[in-house]
């Protein structure tokens, strides 16, 4: 009896290990990023300021270029995801940093929605990105984005473009490396993030 139990445990563990990677590739699936906590207007400005290492005023102008003060009942959330690139012959996914969407959201008992994307930021791992980030609020719970460019060694970059996108609108941001740096790798990511 004891041998039968041990054999069953051994076979089930072999199935679990090999069943998940039978094709030799990691499972590529859409991901659900962790939902950020509701924030007020000054908290979301402070977050962008810290992430991009800019002043509070510069972050405020990126999120709210017309110096608008929104109603207190509005909820702001940061929706984040991890762009990944398949590398090598086995197509294992490589983490390319974090992308952050600063959003205006609404929610009630059984309903939640993104009203507007205020701004987006891409922070690669120990590098800087030069290229474009295009994104669209395809429905009230999904952001589609395309990241196209290259990663460089360095720590300084500038952004330009239009950050805001309402429902069914597309927009873009350009990221530029101000000085010539050595290019580490080209990237092209086309993904959805669900809220």
User: Per-residue confidence of the chain (195 residues) as pLDDT tens digits?
Assistant: 544 444 443 434 333 333 333 222 223 333 333 446 788 888 889 999 888 888 999 999 999 887 666 665 668 999 888 887 766 555 556 778 889 999 998 877 778 889 999 999 888 888 888 899 999 999 988 999 999 998 888 767 777 777 888 888 899 888 888 766 677 788 898 999 888
Residue 85: partners with Cβ closer than 8 Å, 6 or more residues away:
93, 94, 96, 185, 187, 189
Cβ atoms of 121 and 157 closer than 8 Å: no
- Which tokens hold the place of 183? 């290019």
pTM of the full structure: 0.73
pLDDT (0 to 100) of residue 23: 29
Task: Convert 18-54 to b/e letters by CB count within 10 Å (16 or more is b).
Answer: eeeeeeeeeeeeeeebeebeebebeebbebbbeebee
Q: Residue holding tokens 């974090």?
A: 98
Q: Residue holding tokens 């609020």?
A: 137
pLDDT (0 to 100) of residue 24: 29
pLDDT (0 to 100) of residue 88: 59
């Amino acid at each position: 009896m004891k041998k039968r139990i041990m054999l069953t445990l051994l076979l089930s563990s072999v199935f679990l290990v090999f069943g998940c990677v039978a094709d030799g590739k990691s499972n590529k699936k859409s991901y659900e990023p962790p939902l950020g906590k509701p924030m007020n207007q000054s908290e979301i400005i402070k977050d962008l300021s810290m992430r991009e290492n800019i002043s509070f005023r510069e972050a405020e102008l990126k999120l709210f270029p017309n110096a608008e003060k929104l109603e207190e009942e509005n909820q702001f959330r940061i929706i984040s995801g991890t762009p990944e690139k398949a590398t090598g012959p086995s197509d294992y996914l490589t983490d390319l940093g974090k992308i952050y969407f600063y959003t205006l959201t609404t929610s009630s008992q059984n309903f939640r929605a993104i009203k507007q994307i205020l701004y987006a930021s891409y922070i690669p791992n120990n590098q800087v990105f030069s290229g474009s980030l295009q994104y669209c609020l395809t429905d009230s719970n999904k952001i589609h984005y395309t990241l196209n460019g290259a990663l460089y060694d360095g720590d300084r970059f500038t952004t330009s473009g239009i950050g805001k996108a309402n429902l069914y609108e597309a927009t873009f941001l350009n990221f530029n490396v101000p000085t010539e740096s050595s290019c580490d790798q080209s990237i092209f990511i086309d993904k959805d993030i669900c809220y």
